[in-house]
Amino acid sequence: MVVGEISQQRNLVIIGGGPGGYSTAIRGAQLGLSVTLIEKVDMGGICLNKGCIPSKTYTHAAKKRAESAHLQELGIGNGTAGFDLFKLQAYKDKVIGGLRAGVESLCKQNKIEVIRGKAGFLGPNKIGVENGHQFDIYEFEQAIIATGSYPIMPFPAPEKTKRILLSHEIFELDEIPEHLLVKGMDYIALEVASSYAALGAKVSVLFDSMADCVFDESILKELLRLFKRRKINVIKDIHLVSVNVTTDEIAVTFLDDKKGEDTIHGSHLFVTGKSKPNVEDLGINRIGIVLTNEGSIHVNGSLQTSIPSIYAIGDVTEGPLLAVKAIKQGKAAVETIAGLKPETDLTFMPVVAHTIPPFVSVGLTEQMARDFGMNVRTSQFPLGSNGYAAITGCKDGFIKVISDPETEIISGIHMIGEGAIEMSGSFVQLLEMAAKEEDVKFPLYAHPSCSEGLLEAVEGLIDQAIHAVPSKKKDLLKI
Alpha helices in 255-408 (DSSP H): 284-287, 323-337, 366-371, 387-392
Question: Which secondary structure element, helix H or strand E, spans residue 123, and what is its range?
Answer: strand 118-123
> 133, 168, 447, 467: which one is catalytic?
447
Whole-angstrom distance, CA of residue 309 vs CA of residue 249: 52
Among candidates 406, 391, 383, which has minimal Cα distance to 457?
383
Residue 447 known to be catalytic? yes
Torsion angles phi and psi, residue 9, rounded to 5 = -90, 135
Give me the helices (H) in 351-393, please.
366-371, 387-392
Nearest one of 421, 426, 418, 384 to 401, comparing CA atoms: 426
CB-CB contact of 286 with 121 (8 Å): yes
How far apart are alpha carbons 244 and 345 in whole angstroms? 44
Query: Are 458 and 400 in contact, with CB atoms under 8 Å apart?
Result: no
Question: How far is residue 243's CA from residue 254's CA, in Å, rounded to a whole number?
Answer: 9
> In this structure, are residues 64 and 198 in contact, taking their beta carbons and an 8 Å threshold?
no
Distance of CA 412 to the CA centre of its chain: 19
Q: Find out whether 157 and 183 touch, Cβ atoms under 8 Å.
A: no
CA Rg, the chain, in Å? 25
Q: How far is CA 80 from each of CA 70, 91, 142, 197, 355, rounded to the nearest angstrom?
A: 11, 21, 57, 15, 21
Q: Count how many Cα atoms sit within 13 Å of the Cα of residue 49 in the half-sphere of its side chain.
A: 11
**Which SS3 state, helix, strand or coil, does residue 151 take?**
strand
Instruction: Give the residue numbers marked as catalytic.
Output: 447
